[in-house]
Amino acid sequence: MLKNKEINSSIYLPEVAEVVSTRQLTDTEKYIELKLKKPRDFDFIPGQFIQISIFGIGEAPISISSSPFNKDKIGLCVRKVGDVTSALHKLEAGSYIGIRGPLGNGFPVEKMKGKNILFIAGGLGLAPLRSLINYVLETRDDFAEITILYGAKNPGEILFSDEIEIWKKRKDLEIGITVDKPDDSWSGKSGVITRLIPHLDLDPSNTYAIVVGPPVMYKYVLLELQSKMIPEDHIIMSLERRMKCGVGKCGHCQINGVYVCLEGPEFSYHKLKHLSEAI
């Protein structure tokens, strides 16, 4: 029988967290801030995720979107796609949910220090990348050149548009935004995100490319990065969409014997190319 201390630290038992604020980002995405009911520093690495429990409905894995330096609050960008996420969208400040985590392995931030960083985000992929972008910007002197590329289906689906405008004003990074289907309100670039890559002047051996987006995007982004001679172990990709239980028990994330939730969800392309189902 487990002792109380062991029970309280079990990865299978959720902690209670309070919803402290919510903010609608788009028609289908909402930003939700949580605070643990039992106060403690919530330490995590950008790229890790948590399991959200809605009592009586179920559980779902969601990437952490907030900065790791904000240790008392946990920020999530939630897309309404199922029972759990729909229930999350209905919650207001003062509601309580359960969380487990942080889980998985994050981005290799220590290896990236001193390097040029190229962020490539498609759609909801900006949500987990936002955590890493904020980490890099808050420790700006630890990194060389910073480039952010972001693509959305249309202007109405652009996430964190207020922060993007702040990023655009910074002199210590470059940013490129594009939409697949522009409307009358859009005056920026249009087309798929891969159109933004050929114009970049990159130092391949000194650049890490961090790619998060829908699976269909990966194949074409990889082709562009390979044409730029970025080393395979310097291309980091996320398989966060494959997450299920988060602790390697259900097997839903397994690819050729690799449990994505345990070894990932962030992988170098050097490793991913041997997992035929991954990309």
Cα separation values, 115 from 4, 121, 126, 203, Å: 45, 19, 21, 10
Q: What is the mean pLDDT of residues 224-249?
A: 85
Domain 11-103 has CATH 1.10.8.350: no
Q: How far apart are the first and last CA of the chain?
A: 43
Q: Is the pLDDT of residue 103 over 60?
A: yes
Q: Is the pLDDT of residue 3 over 70?
A: no
To the nearest 10°, the Cα dihedral for 76, 79, 85, 91?
A: 60
- DSSP notation for 238-278: E-GGG-SSSSSSS-TTEETTEEHHHH-BEEEHHHHTT-TTT
Domain 109-272 has CATH 3.30.70.270: no
State residue 29's pLDDT score: 96
Binding site residue list: 245, 250, 253, 261
pLDDT digits (tens, 9 = 90+) for 106-160: 999 999 999 999 999 999 999 999 999 999 999 999 999 999 999 999 999 999 9
Which element (helix H / strand E) includes 83?
helix 83-90
Q: What is the mean pLDDT of residues 42-63?
A: 92
Residue 23: closest CA among 32, 12, 15, 36:
32
- DSSP notation for 184-236: TT--SEES-GGGGSTT----GGGEEEEEES-HHHHHHHHHHHHHTT--GGGEE
pLDDT digits (tens, 9 = 90+) for 159-206: 999 999 999 999 999 999 999 999 888 888 999 999 999 999 999 999
- Taking the complete model, does pTM exceed 0.85, yes or no? yes
pLDDT digits (tens, 9 = 90+) for 196-207: 999 999 999 999
Phi, psi of 80 (to 5 degrees): -80, 100
Strands, E, within 64-173: which ranges?
74-79, 96-103, 116-122, 146-152
Same fold, 11-103 and 109-272: no
Binding site residue list for [2Fe-2S] cluster: 245, 250, 253, 261
- The full set of domain ranges for the chain reads 11-103, 109-272
